[in-house]
Structure 1
């Protein structure tokens, strides 16, 4: 689970993509002139940080919930086998976030800590951010490489920016046009500024925010321009054109998430890739006609990563490492929920079909492809 109880990150991505296509997201605050801080070097090539998103949600069953043993094994694989030099630790629950961040730092990974608590009052979201940020500062003072993101796509997560008691209701109101765009922009800017102030008050390293691609943000509040990137183009040069506008602020660009699901045609669906499961059936079924496509997922990730490298962006985090609530069933394609997963490893039930079964994972082609690229960069 990611931030909001009862809604998976995959579904959240789809909602964000649907909203982005149906409504113009708010324009950023005035006065966003490019900074002249010298931190962007024209012509520099290669990412500084290459990594993966690691979610710390509670899980849908005890077998798939976050636990210390699995977390440590996962981070060992991220460092040793994926050859990543960084990891974005995200989700809700300060204890889970901080324990995972500490383990990542112990393994020499640069930590991107992102609390993502949603569908609760603003004060609780900001308190959750402050507590997480204070821990991030302690890690930083101990010598760890740490960045702090104040949150993710507030227009959907934070109550009160648009009407609706939860993410589903807010998305419905956005799609139906049941909102005031001027008031929405004002509320979003106000809350983003509050979150930035809280982040600055407790953390003295580099600060950012994970914004939807269509969401204009007052990047003067932050040290890094952070975006969740799920675009698809047939020509690699189009990625460079699409990403170029994010350089205009004169600050390093951090790709906070990028990825796709695991079936043929998933890259073209981007953030809507999750929408291939019929949840009206029990158990849920993959919609007819889909073909599993680990190679398609791997090719997309390596193509967009090459664009990030060519532009010399600051960082890129593949979304996501593991989705334990979406098991892979190789002998039963109708129930191969991993096809609708963005993860770079596939979850396998120890006893297929048994909800109480333990789970383990195996690398997908995407994991192996990223490991080759990350490994070459690390050796270089």
Structure 2
């Protein structure tokens, strides 16, 4: 997941490497023809089901059902990555997606909670995934996302931000950290296997060391930036050495000039200490930048004939678009394919709606033109 407040991802990945954990044009006609011939096996989008940061952005079953229909009928996705926390929210959304004929990639992500709670949350969600599978739904289960970041005890610190700071400040034993990560990943895989009989996966950061023998599908959150599209293919090929299907569990960028070059840190341009929160610097909004980056990555994914790619993400209610107010246009720092429009700006109880961005339309055209390659 790309959003972690107050940290530079380039520095963070450098910290991972030192700790021992790490090992732009529009698509051409030839690339589009290649995709039609081979294509992604499954084309999806991430749908987060969090509780919301304000009363106005709380989870709504009615809204979720409407969004799932749009994902199928207007975005032309065949897969929805249902992620976030709260078993009731996760299962309700997964059931709706399955009922609409979508493939479900179900990924519980309970963060900053004791290991026992994380595993119980996984087990309960996984049992529901197995019920859906037995009823004939197409379901894959991911046991979680980037455990070293979200699960306390692998890196010292009670919160995500504290763990990152400890890593960057060198307050980490890299050997012990990898050992704890391996232990928890194996434990999560075991819990997943105990409740779910379908294909199992995990969403790792692209430089993580993971024992992929534990899983059926390799899952990578991918946010690289290269000027040469061939470099995306070169980088992704190394994940194929396991001889297993590869799913891109997240990919995308934000809607401003220069966002792709941040390699997954595009969100880190908001001053959260200001009230209301402010965009730092003089960013230039550019929905085209976001759309072109997604299309470039899809070209690379399609040339590798990957199992799935899931764009991050469908909607981000807590990052509203405020036209005419660039300093407070938080949507610029969002990876969302849609922009959130408040009924009453700056009112935490306000209702809201979303409108599609250029990235939504570009992805919809690509997904609609792609020929399904089977299950």
Structure 1 residue 16, shift from structure 2 partner: 5.6
Structure 1 residue 45, shift from structure 2 partner: 3.1
Once residues 146 and 344 of structure 1 are traced to their aligned partners in structure 2, the CA distance between those partners, rounded to angstroms, is 24
TM-score (norm: length of structure 2): 0.92
Q: Deviations over 1:319-366 (max 9, x none)?
A: 011000010011111110000000000000012333321000000000
Q: Spell out structure 1 runs of 4+ moving beyond 4 A.
A: 12-17, 25-28
Once residues 331 and 354 of structure 1 are traced to their aligned partners in structure 2, the CA distance between those partners, rounded to angstroms, is 17
Counterpart of 1:300? 293
1:196 paired with 2:189, answer yes
TM-score (norm: length of structure 1): 0.91
DSSP-derived class of the 1:143 partner: coil
Q: Deviations over 1:158-201 (max 9, x none)?
A: 11111111111110010011010000011100000000000000
DSSP-derived class of the 2:213 partner: helix
1:162 paired with 2:160, answer no
Once residues 13 and 300 of structure 1 are traced to their aligned partners in structure 2, the CA distance between those partners, rounded to angstroms, is 24
DSSP-derived class of the 1:226 partner: strand
1:122 paired with 2:101, answer no
CA contact (8 A) 2:6 2:161 kept: no
Structure 1 residue 17, shift from structure 2 partner: 5.2
How many residues align structurally?
Answer: 358
Counterpart of 1:92? 85
CA contact (8 A) 1:14 1:271 kept: no
Counterpart of 1:40? none
Counterpart of 2:310? 317
Counterpart of 1:349? 342
Once residues 109 and 6 of structure 2 are traced to their aligned partners in structure 1, the CA distance between those partners, rounded to angstroms, is 14
Equivalent residues in 2 for 1:246-325 (5 A)?
Answer: 246-325=239-318
Bigger Cα displacement from structure 2, 96-105 vs 267-276: 267-276
Counterpart of 1:22? 15
Counterpart of 1:336? 329
DSSP-derived class of the 2:331 partner: helix
Of residues 210, 214, 217, the one that matches 2:210 is 217
Counterpart of 2:199? 206
Structure 1 residue 11, shift from structure 2 partner: 2.2
Once residues 254 and 123 of structure 1 are traced to their aligned partners in structure 2, the CA distance between those partners, rounded to angstroms, is 27
Of residues 72, 76, 83, the one that matches 2:69 is 76
CA RMSD between the two structures: 1.7
Structure 1 residue 15, shift from structure 2 partner: 6.1
Q: Deviations over 1:243-262 (max 9, x none)?
A: 11001110010000001011
* Residues 17 and 81 of structure 1, relative CA distance in 2, 3 Å threshold: farther
DSSP-derived class of the 2:88 partner: helix
Once residues 150 and 325 of structure 2 are traced to their aligned partners in structure 1, the CA distance between those partners, rounded to angstroms, is 35
* Residues 73 and 14 of structure 1, relative CA distance in 2, 3 Å threshold: farther
Of residues 91, 99, 102, the one that matches 1:106 is 99
Once residues 166 and 297 of structure 2 are traced to their aligned partners in structure 1, the CA distance between those partners, rounded to angstroms, is 32
CA contact (8 A) 2:271 2:279 kept: yes
Counterpart of 1:38? none
1:11 paired with 2:11, answer no
Once residues 18 and 115 of structure 1 are traced to their aligned partners in structure 2, the CA distance between those partners, rounded to angstroms, is 27
